[in-house]
Amino acid sequence: MYTIKSYVFPESLEEADELLHRDCRNNAVLGGCCWLKLGRRRIRWAIDLTRLGLDQIEVKDGFLELGACITLRQLETHPAVTARFDGLLGESVSHIVGVPFRNCATVGGSVFSRFGFSDLTCALLALDASVVLYRGGEVPLAEFMASPIAFDDILLKVRIKDDGRRAAYQSVRRSATDFPTLAVAVSCLDGRWKVSVGARPGRAVQAEEAARCLNDGRGPEAAGVAAGAELTFGTDLRAGADYRKKLAAVLVRRAAQTCIERENKG
């Protein structure tokens, strides 16, 4: 059971930041609110950013910029997103619950919360994205994902270099709209690879040894084995750690193969 004492639409980011810092422990910036009811937070000031123009998808200065209030459905349908990175971002979110859910859930809510089950953070990691925070400035997503959640900053946008890299996504689910049992994203630019694995069930991380395998030309099979060996996996109600480890090897191999095929097709 959650409660909200005051609900506010700040008129500026300065106001949102000031409100948040009145009491970071008890005030909260709202995202898509899809999981809000499952928590037990007693929120003093709920800060709603939806009127601050953070719902923009922009391509500027060689970057694709996704505002924090962009919905997952927009990632799936906006031409500026679907036309880039082989549609990786849209594909990664397209199995999350259903369209009404994805019209609520936001990029900011998904990324800031660093959910282990998040398909989106896994895809963004493979694209070497960064996040822009109100106080903290621009931070590489990999660094942000590894840091503990601090409720004292506001995520403004996600930035991805618009470098035309090829990409592919793989996930396994027990049923069509369930959380992923494991998720893998892979990208390649000029022979340099990025591999990320999510829903381990911990937070998504980059598989650097797997990427090295691909960089060195040892092939998708070796990259898959490396990803299974280098990362830690856990057990939850969806799968055991050993199963996830084997799954990682298969999904990394498949994603890398898909990426290579796309590269060869041009």
Partner 1 sequence: MKVKITVNGMLYNKHIPNDMMLLEFLRKYGYVSVKRGCDTSNCGLCTVWVEGKPVLSCSYPAARADGKNVTTLEGVKDEAASFGRYMTAQGVEQCGYCSPGFIMAALAMRRELTNPTEEEVAHYLAGNLCRCSGYAGQTRALRAWLHDKPWEKEGQV
Determine if 250 is a binding residue for partner 1 (CB under 8 A): no
Cβ density class 208-220: b for 16+ within 10 Å, e for less: bbbbbbbeeeeeb
Find tokens 């924090």 and name the residue.
68
Among 13, 15, 17, 48, the residue binding partner 1 under the rule CB under 8 A is: 48
Find tokens 């990394």 and name the residue.
252
Using the contact rule CB under 8 A, the part of the chain among 16-24, 79-87, 90-98, 190-198 near partner 1 is 90-98
Rounded to whole angstroms, the Cα distance separating 43 from 110 reads 19
Q: For the sheet containing 28-30, what is the strand order?
A: 3-8, 42-48, 28-30
Nearer residue to partner 1 within complex by CB, 46 or 123: 46
Residue 81 makes CB contacts below 8 A (sequence gap 6+) with 57, 64, 66, 74, 75, 87, 89, 90
Among 14, 23, 83, 103, the residue binding partner 1 under the rule CB under 8 A is: 103
Determine if 94 is a binding residue for partner 1 (CB under 8 A): yes
Per the DSSP assignment, residues forming a β-bridge with 109 are: none
**Shortest reach from residue 84's CB to partner 1, in Å:** 21
Nearer residue to partner 1 within complex by CB, 3 or 232: 3
**Shortest reach from residue 31's CB to partner 1, in Å:** 11
Among 19, 28, 29, 30, the residue binding partner 1 under the rule CB under 8 A is: 30
Contact positions vs partner 1 (CB under 8 A): 2-7, 9, 30, 32-38, 43, 46, 48, 50, 73, 94-95, 97-104, 176-177
